[in-house]
Amino acid sequence: MHITVMGTGYVGLVVGAGLADFGLMVTCVDINQEKIGLLKEGKVPIFEPGLEEIVRRNVERGRLCFSTDIKQAIRNCLVIFVAVGTDAGPDGIADLSQIWSAADQIAQSMEDYKIVVIKSSVPVGTTAGLEARMQQSLSGRNGHLDFDLISNPEFLREGSAIEDFFHPDRIIVGSRSERAAAIIKDIYRPLYLIETPFMFTTWESAELAKYAANAFLALKVSFVNELANLCDAVGANADVHVVARCLGLDRRIGGKFLHPGPGFGGYCFPKDTRALAQAARKVGEQFQTVEAAIEVNDRQFGRVVDKIEKGLGSLEDKAVAVLGLSFKPNTDDVRESRSLKICEALLAAKCKLRVFDPVAMAQARRVLNDAVTYCSDCYEAVTDCDAAVIATEWNEFRNLDLERVKQSMRGDLLVDAKNIFDPARAKCAGFRYYGTGRR
Ligand code: NAD
């Protein structure tokens, strides 16, 4: 079976390479010529552990190829997975322009029956809107052209996307056509064999399930962050990690997403929570819990900046090292990264910044430009700094030689936004240590 994946980003490339690994013939297309050019040269444009190997393997076996000829790729396949971006528009309403234009391209290019699978995260009602739009577009063309739409939201996490693709918690298939649902089931047959739960449902339930999952996880993050703020305020022996562990051991709650920090970032949580809240308001409902989670999150990175200011007395002309720039470890994605928000706030307060990230330096440079000094490792970054901030919990930071870090700095302030160090150990190395929600 021939498949086309429209959008070769964090989702499209993983899905395309994964489907090729299932033995299907996949063409990944993108409007970004530079991206496709790199992929054709055998270079993977994003950092995602394990992805390069799967891409290489499937290109070598002739099952995976890359193209900017979208029209041809649409004509050559039966199934089109749409994995284009759905950015946040004004007021947080999802900007669906990439989705509409992908649908237009499909309707204008197709010459026979197609199944269009929406992988992108979209607000409830979008798939129905796409059907109407494609029907209208096709009505202007000669002959009867048939298609089916499937809502098949993606749940992979950057940093563990390969594992998530091959071992997902569930596959959701929203469909109005039994024929199309059966073909999708067939595409995912390798996952059926490992007993992945499949949910066959309506377009609308599938669309909402995606936003609901992200919003619920965002609630957990904001909850634990407020808990950490409370622990900070009561001081003494309240430790957010102990409280979170006690919470997480309750099987009704679970221990995941109960790690305090500077707030959630990345491409998905910030925009999807906003889009869900706006979608609710559009139909006269207010999703208050989600709106509260967003509000808490918008303030949380400021707590880190406040701690640096408190520790240094004032921020003006102080030198601060920011370690970790990606929105989480194991990815080079800096979209909505809380670390960059911290950098921007420190720059606005006239700090001088020295920054380091194991893989996200090039991406961060596109945002921070020449406003900061880019360093080749943590030790270079902290040199002569008044304070150091851990903003992303890369594993390699956990084993830093704290004595060496301290000796390289001119100050003694360590703000550990992700609580990767043992406070006693940091104190032993000579630091004034500010964690998140623990002494
Ligand atoms: P991305 O920005 O990395 O990739 C989107 C790609 O689509 C870009 O390369 C862009 O050039 C391309 N594109 C846009 N219009 C196109 C068109 N008409 N034809 C072909 N290509 C086109 O985005 P992403 O992170 O891969 O996310 C894609 C979707 O998946 C979003 O809706 C997102 O919310 C959802 N999602 C993302 C993740 C994640 O972790 N990144 C996880 C689950 C779901």
If asked whether residues 114 and 52 sit together in one domain, one would say yes
For a mutational test of ligand 1's pocket, the pick from 30, 39, 335, i.e. the residue with the most ligand atoms closer than 8 A to its C-beta, is: 30
If asked whether residues 174 and 310 sit together in one domain, one would say no
Q: If you measure from the C-alpha of residue 87 to the centroid of ligand 1, how many angstroms do you get, rounded to a whole number?
A: 9
CA end-to-end distance (rounded Å), the chain? 58
> Which residue matches tokens 């003494």?
236
| Alpha carbon distances (Å) from 397 to 11, 86, 227 | 27, 33, 25
pLDDT for 155 beyond 90 = yes
Question: Is 206 inside a domain boundary?
Answer: no
Q: Residue 31 burial by CB count (10 A; 0-12/13-18/19+): exposed, middle or buried?
A: middle
If asked whether residues 6 and 84 sit together in one domain, one would say yes
Question: Is 439 inside a domain boundary?
Answer: no
Q: Within 10 A of 316 (CB to CB), how many other CB atoms are there?
A: 11
Percent of the chain surpassing pLDDT 90: 97
> Which residue matches tokens 């707030």?
263
Q: Contact at 8 Å (CB) between 85 and 108?
A: no
Question: Which has the minimum average pLDDT: 56-60, 91-95, 173-177?
Answer: 91-95
d(CA 417, CA 424): 16
pLDDT for 307 beyond 80 = yes
Residue 45: strand, helix, or coil = coil
d(CA 118, CA 133): 14
If asked whether residues 155 and 229 sit together in one domain, one would say no
Q: 60-96: string of b/e by CB count within 10 Å (b at 16+)?
A: eeebbbbbbebeebbeebebbbbbbbbebeeebbbbb
If asked whether residues 175 and 307 sit together in one domain, one would say no
The last residue of one of the domains, among 141, 171, 201, is 201
Please give the full DSSP string across 410-429, using - where no structure is assigned: SS-EEEETT--S-HHHHHHT
* Domain total of the chain: 2
Q: What is the mean pLDDT of residues 243-249?
A: 97
Question: pLDDT tens across 392-423, in order?
Answer: 999 999 999 999 999 999 999 999 999 999 99
If asked whether residues 186 and 220 sit together in one domain, one would say no
Question: Is 207 inside a domain boundary?
Answer: no
Q: 385-414: string of b/e by CB count within 10 Å (b at 16+)?
A: bbbbbbbbbbeebeebebeebbebbebebb
Q: Is the dihedral of CA 383, 388, 393, 395 positive or negative?
A: positive
Domain extent, residue 54, equals 2-201
Catalytic one of 65, 77, 268, 351? 268
135 lines ligand 1 (CB under 6 A): no
pLDDT for 436 beyond 90 = yes
If asked whether residues 221 and 197 sit together in one domain, one would say no
Of 363, 341, 306, 275, the C-alpha closest to 10 is 363
Mean pLDDT of the chain: 97
If asked whether residues 160 and 29 sit together in one domain, one would say yes
Q: If you measure from the C-alpha of residue 274 to the centroid of ligand 1, how many angstroms do you get, rounded to a whole number?
A: 18
If asked whether residues 156 and 278 sit together in one domain, one would say no
DSSP bridge partners of 432: 413
Q: Is residue 268 flagged as an active site residue? A: yes
Question: Is 104 inside a domain boundary?
Answer: yes
What number does the ligand 1 atom closest to the CA of 105 have?
A: 18
Q: What CATH number is associated with residue 76?
A: 3.40.50.720
Question: pLDDT tens across 249-276, in order?
Answer: 999 999 999 999 999 999 999 999 999 9
Question: Is 73 inside a domain boundary?
Answer: yes
Q: If you measure from the C-alpha of residue 76 to the centroid of ligand 1, how many angstroms do you get, rounded to a whole number?
A: 22
Token representation of residue 356 = 């380091």
If asked whether residues 169 and 220 sit together in one domain, one would say no
Measured torsion, CA atoms of residues 27, 30, 31, 33, in degrees rounded to the nearest 10: -90
If asked whether residues 285 and 159 sit together in one domain, one would say no
Q: Contact at 8 Å (CB) between 95 and 121?
A: no
What DSSP state is assigned to residue 150?
E
